């Protein structure tokens, strides 16, 4: 018991540091998960805008911007490459497939590969 009494200040400091460290770890984990969830939501929103334009109309400039932004999502790169290649194949015989969008998809694929 005398050892505890003699080292009480040191034990208190160690416990306080451990509590602080635990709070920091929880913050980092929560922040990382939140960032990952925001990235997930943003990525899927961009994919939706690319393949399903509003009101059934094609908005070429918005689609080009979406393709440009998709390159930044490194975590989803393999999926993005597969999606863009699939869209190229699906849209190549479509007369409404704008050459500007085709060019932007080609550029994005070159950057990602």
Q: What is the pLDDT of residues 56-112, one digit of tens each?
A: 555 888 889 999 999 999 999 999 999 999 999 998 888 878 888 999 999 999 999
The burial of 17, by beta-carbon neighbours within 10 Å (0-12 exposed, 13-18 middle, 19 or more buried), is given as exposed
Q: Six-digit token pair at 17?
A: 């540091």
List Cβ neighbours of 46 (8 Å cut-off, separation of 6 or more): 66, 69, 70
Say how far apart CA 28 and CA 17 lie, in whole Å.
16
Tell me the domain boundaries of the chain. Answer: 2-112
pLDDT of amino acid 91: 87
71 versus 49: which is more confidently predicted? 71
User: What's the half-sphere exposure (Cβ side, CA atoms, 13 Å) at 63?
Assistant: 21
Q: Six-digit token pair at 104?
A: 């932007």
């Amino acid at each position: 018991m005398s050892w505890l009494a003699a080292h009480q200040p040191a034990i208190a400091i160690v416990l306080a540091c451990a509590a602080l460290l635990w709070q920091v770890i929880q913050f980092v984990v929560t922040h990382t998960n939140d960032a990952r969830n925001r990235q997930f939501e943003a990525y899927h929103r961009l994919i939706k805008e690319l393949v399903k334009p509003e009101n059934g109309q094609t908005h070429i400039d918005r689609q080009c911007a979406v393709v440009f932004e998709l390159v930044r999502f490194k975590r989803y790169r393999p999926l993005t490459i597969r999606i863009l290649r699939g869209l190229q194949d699906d849209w190549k015989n479509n007369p409404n497939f704008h050459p500007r969008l085709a060019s932007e998809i080609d550029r994005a694929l070159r950057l990602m590969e």
